[in-house]
Structure 1
């Protein structure tokens, strides 16, 4: 039997790993399987590769997006994206109000060009994100909240609904953008 890792209910689960083995933290033995929260996926890559664990987690898709917004980013926006790239495409973009954080996030989605989800704090902001993404990429955008649950490779959701979305579809998204994090 070959070892594998898969996604279930927001967690990573190791299959065919003996209960006596000791995978690294954050894995814990739960119901005779080694499990951890799905957000550890990126940091566990070296272990999974070293142990030759077959990876059945990612289900993200190429988006093949073409930017419709042709404006050029400001130097500080380019610097923010460069820093984000150098940090392994992880981290926070911190800019003043009105400095174009949404534009930077749209640029990030374009760079990753894989299934992405944007998490907004309110339904009003969800609708604003929806409109910005449709305009930026001229593509269908999914919406997932109490009133509608349509999941597409590019989806917007609320903080309130994100837990359910991620538990069921978290491995379908390569990039998660959290709006209004402070």
Structure 2
């Protein structure tokens, strides 16, 4: 049986593993290997994830994890970017576990947390040409708003994010 809960220190390695594996597979045909390596090292390293698991706030609500038999099979997190604006910052599922409702359950937990923080709208950035993520977010009611250079990317990375928003 799968459960979704706020992550704690014992989930750090599972979060690192799932997010790294899923990001690499999702991005392999879209972004350069150098860019993917740099992003994984920056965002999905044990020290950073440990800090993000132990230091939650309104601006980073912590990681939520989907667990099955104690193993992390999905992870996601978000925070508030404005008084009534939430943002989904990360959501990855074990690649061989897609289409089982895991991402939906994690998104729901993050959304409920953001509603508790006062959010009325929720944003997400999705890598352009991410044909795994885009249909998921559109099915959840997110509506395309704009295109921009991906967070902390360089022009030579050719990393373009699509910005989506929904009312919650």
Structure with more strand by fraction:
2
What TM-score results when the alignment is normalised by the length of structure 1? 0.26
- TM-score, L = length of structure 2: 0.27
* Structure showing greater Rg: 1
